[in-house]
Amino acid sequence: MSDIKALLAQFDEISGNPRKMLGEYLANGEKVIGCFPVYTPQPLVTAAGLVPIGLWGGQVNPQVSGKYSPIFTCSILHSCLEYGMSGAYQGLSAALMPILCDTFRGTSAAWRAGVKDIPLIVFIHPQNRKDPGALDYMIEEYKSVKTALEKIAGKEITNRALANALTLYNKRNAAMREFCALANEHLDLITPVARHHVMKAVTFLKPEKAVEMVGELNKALKDQPVCKWTGKKVILTGITAEPDDLLVSFTENKVAVVGDDLAQESRQYRTDYPSANSALESLALQWLEIRGCSLAHDDNNTTRGKMLVELAERTGADGVVLCMMRFCDIEEYDQPYVIKMLQEAGLLAFSVDIDQSTTDSGQARTKIQAFAEN
Amino acid sequence: MFAVGIDIGSTASKAAVITEDGVIASKAIVPIGTGTVGPARVFAEALDRAGIARSDVKWITATGYGRFSFEGINDQKSELSCHAKGISHLLPQVRTIIDIGGQDIKVMRINEKGTLVNFVMNDKCAAGTGRFLDTMAKVLDVSVMDLSGLSQRAEEPAEISSTCTVFAESEVISKLAGNVKLENIVAGIHKSVAKRVASLVQRCGIEQQVAMSGGVALNKGLVHSLEEEIHSRIYVHEDCQLAGALGAALYAWDHLQPA
């Protein structure tokens, strides 16, 4: 038990102090690449001998980013730009930015104007993923990222190095999926906050370190007796579920998080890099295999709803909470379809507003409490 | 042995006292909310009207935005659950409830037991809330209580944005500068609120009958606009403003019943 507490404390520390992690990497003489959310080709970064670190913004009231970013910019990109402009990300050798929505496009220009010391490596995921040319397009985009990273690393990224990195990331994904499954057997130990901290901390860790730490936690969890949870259970879906106060509201109301479909959490770990003719092709193929994500276009608008209903059935969830990133239009568009399918499946579904510019979670707290009471 | 429910909202405090036999003994409303003397005053007033002392009260349940900050309570419940329980008691046939509070809008679907089966609530945005109406009344230099009468004398509602309180305020000032009749501006404001609320009603889904709770339900002009937007009659009980406090009192009363 003390092992688990000590391990969880480490994840808490990492999750809450990405700047400290960046400092440690830099002090070690390593070059670090910031990775905007989500689906950045991190295996390329690792294969180049560089360190990838997630850029998730944070709870900050934007002060300087307003120069380039309108107030209705989605909360997470607004805070990332704020941190970039205010120096919080200083030391990064570059930042990788996928243009997954219109806000990314605008933010890429704002970043170039406002963040002079961190070069931006921009690439585009093809949204028409059924087109035969989509794979070639993705490979070409990743080739341009590869070239930029090789310049920073001062060395070539070989097919073998990338293949090894893909294997490592698949191991990490497996460890994370195992953690999610084990967490559901130990809901007394893995609170919503603890679960989130593990998932988020991994985005700041080197993949080999993540495999090691999560593997250790999984081993420790397996040694504990299974907990019979008597409270309600929910699944979280959206981009992120922060700040911690929001997650504490679940614990206060005896509601456990038994699964997630969050871009910051499980969406990153649920699609492996498949076998392919080359490592670069495998890297690109992963994008074509992603399902049920608002950031990856799908002609079938029932995919995400179906996945959530299945996840709820598998985990025994009573409801689904849609964590709506403020001003995230793509998540807003998905909401009606998803809610309809969840309600038809007899699940209670409600949304909470995720806004990184304020720490007030009063209305979300009321909704979570109402869910628990009824 | 009495049970008390206190609803501490952002703009008003409400309380209800229930006797051992489940009869409403008193009700009180004070037009100031959390962070003021309102909650203490409304509690004292409700006890005074019931003719009882603090020692006669066995259970107090708080609800509303300020439910965590009132001292001496036995427990607290979300306002969604309390409005559902309160309206179910006042109007048992109701299955859809619309509550426009000081800083949020709630739409709830309930079953025959008063249990929530679905709910939608706006998030950090004042558009369409009671605060929105307060702001507009100030801009127009009229009392919020007069909005209902004014809108009922309108000939043609002015077009007012339903997306943002700040934008709407600018629009109202612009209408005033353009000599648009006050009555038409007020009707436009009601229409704007009604459109905003109707979109949440659509998201939640309507099941008959529909009722409104909360103080804004006393604004007949707004209720009429909302009826037009959602194409449904809306029932309003005379104690609509007390629905949350009554629901809390009923929860408190439940606690006093033998298991």
Mind listing the pLDDT tens digit for each residue in B186-197? 999 999 889 889
Claim to verify: residue B63 and residue B147 sit in the same structural domain? no
Cα–Cα distance measured from residue B88 to residue B86, given in angstroms and rounded to the nearest whole number: 5
Tell me what the pLDDT averaged over chain A comes to.
95
B124 and A355 within 8 Å at the Cβ level: the answer is: yes
Number of domains, chain B: 2
Nearest-CB residue to A373 (from B78, B120, B203): B78
Return the closest-CA partner of residue A371 out of B81, B96, B97: B81
Claim to verify: residue B61 and residue B171 sit in the same structural domain? no
Chain B interface disruption, residue of A248, A354, A374, most B CBs within 10 A: A374
A367 and B81 within 8 Å at the Cβ level: the answer is: no
The DSSP bridge pattern shows strands A255-262 and A232-238 to be parallel
Claim to verify: residue B46 and residue B130 sit in the same structural domain? no
Chain A CB contacts of B115 below 8 Å: 374
Number of domains, chain A: 1
Give the structural domain span for B27: 1-91+243-259
Burial of A86 (0-12, 13-18, 19+ CB in 10 A): middle
Cα–Cα distance measured from residue A292 to residue B97, given in angstroms and rounded to the nearest whole number: 33
Lowest mean pLDDT among A46-50, A188-192, A306-310, B62-66: B62-66
Q: Which residue of A has its CA nearest to B251?
A: A373
Claim to verify: residue B67 and residue B97 sit in the same structural domain? no
Chain A CB contacts of B200 below 8 Å: none
Would you give the DSSP letter of residue A275? P
Q: Which residues of chain B have pLDDT under 70?
A: 123-126, 162-163, 165
Claim to verify: residue B210 and residue B176 sit in the same structural domain? yes
Residue A63: inside a domain: yes
Would you give the DSSP letter of residue B157? P
B118 and A367 within 8 Å at the Cβ level: the answer is: no
Burial of B149 (0-12, 13-18, 19+ CB in 10 A): middle
* pTM recorded for the entire structure: 0.90
Cα–Cα distance measured from residue A302 to residue A289, given in angstroms and rounded to the nearest whole number: 16
Nearest-CB residue to A363 (from B77, B116, B121): B121
* Closest approach of A338 to chain B, Cα-based (Å): 12
Claim to verify: residue B108 and residue B220 sit in the same structural domain? yes
Number of A–B residue contacts, CB under 8 Å: 53
- Residue B219's φ and ψ, nearest 5 degrees, are -85, 95
A366 and B77 within 8 Å at the Cβ level: the answer is: no
A348 and B118 within 8 Å at the Cβ level: the answer is: yes
Helix (H), strand (E), coil (C) string for chain B: CEEEEEEECCCCEEEEEECCCCCEEEEEEECCCCCCCHHHHHHHHHHHHHCCCHHHEEEEEEECCCCCCCCCCCEECCHHHHHHHHHHHHCCCCCEEEEECCCCEEEEEECCCCCEEEEEECCCCCCCCHHHHHHHHHHHCCCHHHHHHHHHCCCCCCCCCCCCHHHHHHHHHHHHHCCCCHHHHHHHHHHHHHHHHHHHHHHHCCCCCEEEECHHHHCHHHHHHHHHHHCCCEEECCCHHHHHHHHHHHHHHHHHCCC
Claim to verify: residue B81 and residue B156 sit in the same structural domain? no
Chain A CB contacts of B122 below 8 Å: 363
Cα–Cα distance measured from residue A222 to residue A3, given in angstroms and rounded to the nearest whole number: 12
Half-sphere exposure of B179 (CA within 13 A, CB side): 0
pLDDT of residue B162: 61
Residue A102: inside a domain: yes
B81 and A374 within 8 Å at the Cβ level: the answer is: yes
Claim to verify: residue B16 and residue B1 sit in the same structural domain? yes
* Closest approach of A249 to chain B, Cα-based (Å): 12
pLDDT of residue A2: 63
Which CATH number characterizes residue A102's domain? 3.40.50.11890
Claim to verify: residue B83 and residue B96 sit in the same structural domain? no
Catalogue the E-assigned strands of chain A.
Answer: 32-35, 51-54, 94-98, 120-123, 232-238, 255-262, 319-325, 348-354
Claim to verify: residue B22 and residue B71 sit in the same structural domain? yes
Chain B CB contacts of A366 below 8 Å: 78-80, 121
- pLDDT tens per residue, range A231-290: 999 999 999 999 999 999 999 999 999 999 999 999 999 999 999 999 999 999 999 999
Residue keyed to tokens 């965590």: B68
The DSSP bridge pattern shows strands B96-100 and B105-110 to be antiparallel
Q: Which residue of A has its CA nearest to B106?
A: A367
Give the structural domain span for A97: 28-157
Residue A82: inside a domain: yes
Chain A CB contacts of B123 below 8 Å: 324, 351-353, 355, 363-364
- Name the residue with higher pLDDT: A201 or A357: A201
Length of chain B: 259
B234: which strand partners?
B210
Band (A99; pLDDT cuts 50, 70, 90) = very high
ipTM over 0.90: no
Nearest-CB residue to B118 (from A343, A360, A362): A343
Claim to verify: residue B97 and residue B159 sit in the same structural domain? yes
Cα–Cα distance measured from residue A32 to residue A21, given in angstroms and rounded to the nearest whole number: 10
Chain A CB contacts of B77 below 8 Å: 369, 373
The first and second tokens of residue A8, run together, are: 């969880």
Length of chain A: 374
Cα–Cα distance measured from residue B149 to residue B227, given in angstroms and rounded to the nearest whole number: 17
Residue A193: inside a domain: no
Which CATH number characterizes residue B19's domain? 3.30.420.40
Would you give the DSSP letter of residue A259? E
Residue A86: inside a domain: yes
Residue A331: inside a domain: no
Claim to verify: residue B131 and residue B141 sit in the same structural domain? yes
Do B149 and B221 meet the contact criterion of CB atoms below 8 Å apart?
A: yes
Tell which A residues from 340 to 369 touch B, by Cβ distance under 8 Å.
343, 348, 350-353, 355, 358, 360, 362-364, 366-367, 369
pLDDT of residue A356: 80
